[in-house]
Amino acid sequence: MTTLRQNPAQHREGVTRDRRSNYWNLLPFLKPQTGRILRALGCTIIFSIFWPILAQLFGSVAEYLGNGQVREMAQLAGVLAIAFLIHKVAQYGQDSLMAKAALAIALDLRRALYSHLQKLDLGYFESAKTGDLTYRLTEDVDRVGEVVKKLFHDFAPCILQLVLVLAYMLYLNWQLTLSAFLIAPLMAALVSWFGEQLLRFSRRSQNRISDLSSLLTEVFSGIRLIRAFAAEDYEEERFRSIAEENRKANYSAAWLQAVQHPVIGFLYAMSILIVLLLGTWQISEGNLTGTSFVSYIAAVVMLVDPIAHMTENYNLFKQAEASVDRVFEVMAIEPAVLEHSDAKTMPMVDGKVELQNVSFSYDAELGQNSHPVLREIGLIALPGEAIALVGASGAGKTTLVNLLPRFYDPQGGEILIDGIDIRSVTLRSLRRQIGIVPQETILFSGTIAQNIAFGQRNIDLAAVAEAAKVANAHQFISQLPDGYNTYVGERGVNLSGGQRQRIAIARAVLLDPRILILDEATSALDSESEALVQEALERLMDNRTVFIIAHRLATVRRADRILVLEKGQIVESGSHNDLLKKGGRYAGYYAQQFSA
């Protein structure tokens, strides 16, 4: 299957907004929290109902104060205390329930995004930026959770408060209320316009932060190279440039909000002046009492907070929409390698591998014009046979072996293991039968035992030790302070290259695969380490189907068969001695390496 995929870092701020908001995509994540959200909204309704009640009571306060009615004032104070208590208890219920729901939603969204990333094929990660993905999984998801919390914890109560207080104001004097809100449509239009502009600036700012995160990931990973090339000034300039772009984008958003607040505030002040003028006129005409007008003014004051919060929250929603978009951009990417719905578990195989007219192009994976890397490859590897792949860089060696565990799918032809099409079985059952010892050993933070038993929940320490013995790793592990419980730093930097490679071999031994891929497994080692690793590899290769990729031909001479690849095709095949006798491509490579 060929799927057009897009690097999320390439999805920049100039996006045409011709689709519905990605906020709708949050509904499935809200559903499990429905009960909690409804209970929170129940508290919100109680909390909001008390606003007009309090406004009414404050009108009576003015009357009792003016007439010096002490007993009535004391009784009213008791009623007010009870009203405030209920009001604040409801507020606590609303706040605590919504915080719990919002955090649960953010957790579910983060898990879903991480799970989706685990399903995407290698081609996606080869083009995506690590820092960008990290930012989406952390900051963007947190911002989405925060806006969900604000929606129910702040925005909904503000709307209810606004509606109830306005209803009470209409009840007191509808003419005064309608005239006071003549400016409301202009205010709503301005808030909407400011919000759209904030969304644009926020998307730009978050893309710049994502770029900054990606840069930092690259720098910290390659700090040794930066030191070696004395490139500190160059990297500082790169950092300054991206940081400055981020500052500009953030300032644009801050400047816009600085303009918005006084503009909206001025219009709101004008509406209050209109209320005061019209209220004075209504009292002079006998249409409104002084006590009612005090209640009315108390209600108007109660509108200040929800209107300010709604404006602020609308800005937050538009800013957070950029984060929602960034999260669901990744969620919308479909993996190029899919597991069929009726895929079966692959049984234990003998290890016969067949490639039937296999063709592959990375361009086709990206939906572009095809530039073949492999061209109608035909190959049969018998169980227990060791096959070496030789050729210049870019000939297709690594690509060929990457098709076996379905890191990619070929655009043409079929790959069979023991006669079973690998696309008809589950990815997990397929990959459990294929072991890989790469050129660059990847170790994860954790103990040595956890790294050898990588992917296994329950670690059998006896089996781990046996695997390490086969890999010539037991001796050096036993000499470490905590043995197999020794903590390995990030990327295993506290171990030598040979030690890391032997741990990788032990990992493959413990997996006990029927098919083994050795991708330049000894190319970066010194002579002593190479001898230990080579000995371990020979034990590992015993009675398995093995594919060996090596530029150093000394490591492939004992292979049962050597395949020479050139421009994606097998141009020579045979044993080491047979190919030397032919005097072809392999003989030429061999002569170049051993001419001295």
Q: Which of 409, 382, 256, 237 is nearest to 319 (CA)?
A: 256
Domains of the chain and any CATH numbers: 25-331 (1.20.1560.10), 339-433+516-521+546-596 (3.40.50.300)
Helix locations, 184-231, DSSP H: 184-221, 223-228
Q: What is the pLDDT of residue 14?
A: 43
Contact 459, 453 (CB under 8 A): yes
Checking 27-30 for CB contacts under 8 A at 24+ apart, the result is 29/105, 29/108, 29/109, 29/112, 30/105, 30/148
545 closest CA partner among 518, 520, 565, 523: 518
Quote the tokens at residue 575: 């044993």
Helix%, strand%, coil% for the chain, nearest 5: 65, 10, 25
Q: Which two tokens stand for residue 401?
A: 């072996």
For 326-382, what is each residue's pLDDT tens digit? Answer: 889 888 888 888 888 888 999 999 989 999 999 998 876 555 556 788 999 999 999
Residues in the chain, overall count:
596
Among 419, 415, 427, which residue's Cα sits nearest to residue 547?
415
The β-bridge relationship of strands 374-381 and 353-360 is antiparallel
CA-closest candidate to residue 523, choices 591, 440, 587, 585 = 440
pLDDT of residue 529: 66
Tens-digit pLDDT string for the chain (596 aa):
334 444 444 444 444 444 567 888 888 998 998 898 889 888 888 887 877 777 677 666 666 665 666 777 777 778 878 888 888 888 888 888 888 888 889 889 989 998 898 888 877 887 778 778 888 888 888 888 888 887 777 777 777 777 877 787 777 777 777 766 666 667 667 767 776 777 677 777 777 777 777 777 777 767 766 766 677 787 788 888 878 887 887 777 777 767 776 777 777 677 777 777 777 777 777 776 766 777 777 777 777 677 767 777 777 777 778 888 888 988 888 888 888 888 899 999 998 999 999 999 887 655 555 678 899 999 999 999 999 998 888 888 889 999 999 988 998 999 999 999 999 999 989 988 898 888 777 787 788 898 888 878 788 889 989 888 888 888 888 888 888 888 886 666 678 778 888 888 888 888 888 898 888 766 555 566 667 777 777 788 888 899 988 777 767 888 889 999 988 899 999 988 888 888 888 888 888 877 64
pLDDT in tens, 145-191: 888 887 777 777 777 777 877 787 777 777 777 766 666 667 667 76
Q: What is the pLDDT of residue 249?
A: 75
